[in-house]
């Protein structure tokens, strides 16, 4: 028995929702093949595209699957093949894609003992290995699709949010690697009341705008006065890119997850293409190497 899955990239935080908000991209992701073996052992049998640990206990997919099997009390074995298209350390949920894809596939092969939501904690075990923190804002949207809100971590409560029909995401990935572990370590641990007020105002409004298809409000809510000012220092020409994207009509612009990728959320394909072309030209002129994606959210 085997299954081939598309393991999608995700954009976490979305400016106003650090660690609690994320969305799933529909055309950027890895491919994985998972098959049952007779060895009662979880093995990473093949990884293409990237140099990542082949030892199951050191690979996020292996760790996530093992946590699922342990909880289930199953001694079944699985071989995992990963065709890694999302670069690790790019900020679009590379480890989350592997963790979520693996637990999704194994759950399917086992006859779906768990719902998609119930799979989230197992995928979070992979995130724990990757970054030292079991955040769910990449694995939840990778498993559930669309937008996810983590209402609470303890106990875990994840809410799926609607996706307005015309949303497009442009992702610009400057080819430098920032480890989530490192970019978490530079964030301040305390938040001022003033910043907290503006952040929860924006997060509430963002959620409301998803329900009402209010694109202008979505744009106004994509702000981050807490994490972005610290992390953006690591991203070449962040403020210039932000200004440029908004001038070209993007609803909002921010850091994707822990960076260095940045995202521009746009209404409609045409605006997204304009934004993409313009930030691409800007980076070309500055001589910075990058990858670029234009994706829907679903
Ligand atoms: N919320 C996490 C962070 C996402 O910003 O560290 C990592 O992709």
How much distance in Å is there from the Cα of 30 to the middle of ligand 1? 19
Which residue is catalytic, options 81, 127, 228, 248? 127
Q: Which residue has the tokens 């670029």?
A: 292
Residue 177 has what pLDDT? 85
Active site residue 273: no
How much distance in Å is there from the Cα of 180 to the middle of ligand 1? 6
Segments in the chain below pLDDT 50: none
Residue 178 has what pLDDT? 87
CA distance 57 to 282: 42
How far, rounded to the nearest angstrom, does the alpha carbon of residue 298 sit from its chain's CA centroid?
A: 13
For the stretch 173-221, pLDDT in tens is 999 988 888 999 999 999 999 999 999 999 999 999 999 999 999 999 9
Ligand 1 lining (C-beta closer than 6 Å): 12-13, 18-19, 93, 135, 137-138, 180, 184, 257-258
Q: Which helix (H) or strand (E) holds 219?
A: helix 215-221
For the stretch 137-174, pLDDT in tens is 999 999 999 999 999 999 999 999 999 999 999 999 99
Range list of H helices, 58-179 = 60-72, 94-109, 116-131, 139-144
In this structure, are residues 245 and 228 in contact, taking their beta carbons and an 8 Å threshold? Answer: no
ipTM of the complex: 0.99
Secondary structure string (H, E, C) spanning 14-31: CCCCCCCEEEEEEEEEEE
Q: Which helix (H) or strand (E) holds 171?
A: strand 167-174
CA distance 253 to 265: 6
**Torsions phi, psi for 108 (to 5 deg):** -65, -45
Active site residue 127: yes
């Amino acid at each position: 028995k085997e299954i081939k899955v598309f393991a999608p990239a995700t954009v976490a935080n979305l400016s106003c929702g650090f660690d609690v908000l994320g969305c799933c991209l529909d055309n950027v992701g890895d491919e994985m093949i998972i098959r049952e073996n007779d060895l009662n052992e979880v093995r990473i049998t093949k990884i293409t595209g990237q140099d990542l640990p082949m030892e199951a206990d050191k690979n996020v997919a292996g760790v996530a699957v093992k946590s699922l099997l342990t909880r289930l009390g199953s001694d079944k074995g699985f071989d995992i093949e990963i065709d890694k298209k999302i670069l690790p350390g790019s900020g679009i949920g590379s480890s989350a894609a592997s963790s979520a894809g693996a637990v999704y596939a194994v759950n399917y092969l086992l006859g779906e003992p768990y719902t998609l939501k119930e799979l989230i904690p197992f995928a979070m075990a992979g995130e724990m290995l990757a970054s030292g923190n079991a955040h769910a804002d990449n694995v939840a949207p990778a498993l559930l699709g669309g937008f996810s809100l983590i209402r609470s971590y303890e106990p875990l409560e994840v809410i799926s949010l609607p996706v307005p029909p015309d949303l497009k995401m442009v992702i610009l990935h400057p080819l430098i690697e920032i480890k989530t572990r490192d970019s978490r370590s530079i964030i301040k641990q305390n938040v001022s009341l003033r910043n907290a007020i503006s952040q929860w105002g924006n997060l509430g409004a963002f959620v409301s705008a998803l329900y009402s298809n209010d694109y202008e409000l979505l744009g106004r809510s994509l702000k981050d006065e807490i994490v972005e000012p610290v992390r953006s220092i690591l991203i070449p020409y962040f403020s210039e890119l932000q200004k440029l994207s908004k001038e070209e009509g993007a609803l909002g612009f921010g850091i994707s997850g822990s960076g260095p990728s940045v995202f521009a959320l746009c209404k409609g394909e045409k605006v997204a293409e304009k934004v993409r072309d313009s930030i691409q030209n800007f980076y070309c002129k500055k001589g910075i190497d990058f990858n670029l994606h234009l994706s829907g959210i679903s």
